[in-house]
Amino acid sequence: MAMNAEELRWRATTIVLVQKGRRATIAGDGQVSLGQTVVKGNARKVRRLGKGNVISGFAGATADAFTLFERLEAKLEQFSGQLTRATIEMAKDWRTDRYLRRLEAMMLVADASSAFLLSGSGDVLEPEQTPHGSVMAIGSGGNYALAAARALLDGPLDSEAIARRALEIAADICVYTNRNIVVESVDSI
Active site residues: 13
Measured between alpha carbons, how far is 120 from 105 in angstroms, rounded to an integer? 6
Give the E-state strand segments of 61-164 in sequence order.
105-110, 115-118, 124-125, 134-139
DSSP code string of 41-83: S----EEEETTTTEEEEEEE-HHHHHHHHHHHHHHHHHTTT-H
CB atoms inside a 10 Å sphere around CB 66: 13
HSE-up of residue 36 (Cα within 13 Å, Cβ side) = 3
User: Under a CB-based contact definition with an 8 Å cutoff, are residues 140 and 176 in contact?
Assistant: yes
